[in-house]
Each structure stands twice: as structure tokens, then as C-alpha cells.
Amino acid sequence: MISTVDVTKRYGRVLAVDGVDLEVAAGDRYGLLGPNGSGKTTLLRLALGLVFATSGTIELLGRPVPRGLGEVLPSVGALVEGPAAYGHLSGRANLSLVDAAGPGGPRRTRRARVEAALDRVGLGGVDGRPVKAYSLGMRQRLGLAAALLRAPRLLVLDEPTNGLDPQGIRDVRDLLRELNDAGTTLLLSSHQLSEVDQLCTRVGVMDRGRLVLQADLATLRTPTGRIVVHTPDPDRAAALLDGRITERAADRLVVQHPDPARLTAELVEAGIRITEIHPQRRLLEEVVLEATSAGSDRVDRP
């Protein structure tokens, strides 16, 4: 769906995106993670042809960007850097305007398209008040509705749950799952790990303009070969497992061991009580923090 080869974008002296090879396959739920200022939004803008690459090639739905944009953009829905609307018009009027501004779709079905999009994002019953009277969450929903207007094959969403309350976040997550099940490819950027963790099947991690990691979430979450043991007898357990303990904090031990079942047997045989035992899995947070540095919004003293 999206494939970039060695894409670089330079704004004056700042290297915003540096040699990125992004690969989003059809059907993916791709989460683009990274600290603030790591180049996520610029990469999305490059893929959508809003900004032009300094070097490298970009393909969107199999067509080169920016040359083939006119052909493929009708099948792409996007929400880039927050929703936007004309404040003095109603949400419906805004969607009709957006619908009318591009090719495809006859005028007589416009109303139905607008209503369907509003229903999908939970704004079906909204009145005629102007968008400037909308709350942040309503604007975000309206932005999503605009992205969904033409039943896109690819959805590119930049921080889709910004400004939503927990209920709204779940609504959006369910909606995105549903769309993905129906065949829509998702590419979303976020700095909220939990959002990506719960929704995505594949992640890319950006840091200082580089794509430092790109992998299936399942691969990242494979066991680490260590086992976490909680016990009320940590001293005895430590003595028994001497040399194999990699981490110890109060009653929690991390043990280098290939098999939790055998470790349990070993400990019980020695009369050590266990309250909890499970193989250690890497958290997405650990993976991401390992791969990235502090965001560009943090400025330490030299």
C-alpha cells in the first residue's frame, strides 16, 4: 500500500526524515511510533504528497508519488495533524464541501455519503450548529468522518484519538478494527504506546528522522528466555538459583531459565513458596524506549 525507498526530507538545515524504508502491506494495521519531533508526521505528509521528498522514491497504492497522486488519493482517507473545518459552517456543510471538492461520486448521493460517514463516527444526530461550537472530541470525530467519506482502501491517521475521552478512544478503536476487518489498510501514527499496542499488528518506530525498527508486533513480544517469579521467600530462592538471577527487587526475581514448568518444580521441591510465575515478555514500551532517544520537546542543559 505504501512503500518508500531511502526517503529523505530536509527542511533547510534540519533533517526531518532520514533514509526511511517504510513498508505498509495491504491489510496491515500499522502503527508508527516515536517521540515528538521524530519525523512521524513528516513521513505521512511525504507519503501523501503534501511535502516533496528531497531524495528517495515513494509509492502509494502502487503509483509513484507525487506523479500518480491524482489517481490514488481518491482511495485514501487521511487525518493529518489534527482535524480541520470551516468554523462558520456546520459539520454536514463541511463534509459536503469536502465531498464536492474532489472527483468521483455523483452529487445526488452526496447527502447519503455524508450521513453514512457521520453515523460511523457517532455524529449522526448532530444539529446544525457551526463547527466552531464543537468540542475537541467532536472535531476529532468530524475529521475522522471526512477521512471515511469515500470508503477508502487506505486510511492514514495521524494521532486519531487526540482529544477523545476514554469512551471515544474505544469507539474509534472498535471502528478502526471493523474497517480493517472489512479490508481497509490502516496506517496510524501515535506517541501513545497503549493505543498501538491494542490495535496494531505491525509497528514502525521512528527516532530522529530514522526508522529504527519495523516489525510485526507478535515478533516483538516473543518471550525473552527469562522467567519472572514472585515469592515470599526471596532469599532462599536466590540461594537456590544462585547465578541465574538477573534481576531482584523485594519479592520479585527475574530468572534466566528456559522452562517455567521445570523452574516451578525445582522451587517447589526445595520448599520455596510461589505466589506468581510467568515467562517474561518484552513490553512494547521497553522495545520503543530501547530504540529511541528523548523527544525533541525535551531540551536539557548541555
Partner 1 sequence: MIGVELGKLARRPRTWVSIGLLCGLPLLVAVFLATTEVGPGPGEEPAFLSAVLNNGPLYPAAALAIVLPLFLPVAVAVVAGDAVAGEASSGMLRYLLLRPTGRTRLLVAKLIALVAYVVTAVALLAATSYLTGITLFDTAPGGLTSVSGVELSPGELVLRMVAAALYVGVSMLGVGAIALFLSTVSDSALGATLGALAALVASQVLVTLDAAASVSPYLPTRYWFAWIDLFRDPIPWRDLQRGLAIQAVYVAVFLAAAWANFATKDVKS
- Between 126 and 145, CB nearer to partner 1: 145
**How many angstroms separate the CA atoms of 72 and 228, rounded?**
49
Under the criterion CB under 8 A, does residue 84 sit at the interface with partner 1?
yes
What gap in Å lies between CA 16 and CA 18, rounded to an integer?
7
Give the side-chain half-sphere CA count within 13 A for 68. 14
Beta bridge partner(s), residue 90: 130
Report yes or no: 22 and 1 within 8 Å, Cβ to Cβ.
no
* Residue 36 engages partner 1 in binding (rule: CB under 8 A): no
- Is there binding between residue 86 and partner 1 (CB under 8 A)? yes
Q: Given candidates 20, 24, 48, 117, which one binds partner 1 under the rule CB under 8 A?
A: 48
Whichever of 70 and 258 has its CB closer to partner 1, that residue is 70
Query: Quick one: which of 74, 130, 260, 295 contacts partner 1 (CB under 8 A)?
Result: 74
Stretch that binds partner 1, among 89-97, 108-116, 167-175, 228-236 (CB under 8 A): 89-97
Distance CA 52, CA 47 (A): 9
> What does the per-residue mask of binding to partner 1 show for 128-147, with x meaning CB under 8 A?
------------------x-
Return the range that interacts with partner 1 (CB under 8 A); candidates 49-57, 162-170, 190-198, 241-249.
49-57
- Tell me which stretch binds partner 1 (CB under 8 A): 25-33, 41-49, 115-123, 191-199: 41-49
- Smallest Cα–Cα separation from 90: which of 163, 136, 139? 139
Is residue 210 within 8 A of residue 42, CB to CB? The reply is no
The residue range among 44-52, 197-205, 215-223, 229-237 that interacts with partner 1, by the rule CB under 8 A, is 44-52
CB atoms within 10 A of CB 105: 16
Select from 69, 116, 175, 238 the one that contacts partner 1 (CB under 8 A): 69
Instruction: Name which position in 32, 98, 229, 253 contacts partner 1 (CB under 8 A).
Output: 98
Distance, in Å, from the CA atom of 92 to the CA atom of 100, rounded to the nearest integer, reads 12
Residue 107 CB neighbours (<10 A) = 9
Q: Using the rule CB under 8 A, is 97 a contact of partner 1?
A: yes
| CA separation, residue 271 to residues 261, 266, 279, 298 (Å) | 16, 9, 21, 50
Q: Is 160 in the site for partner 1 (CB under 8 A)?
A: no
Q: Where does this chain bind partner 1 (CB under 8 A)?
A: 11, 45, 48-52, 69-70, 73-74, 76, 78, 80-89, 93, 97-98, 100-103, 146
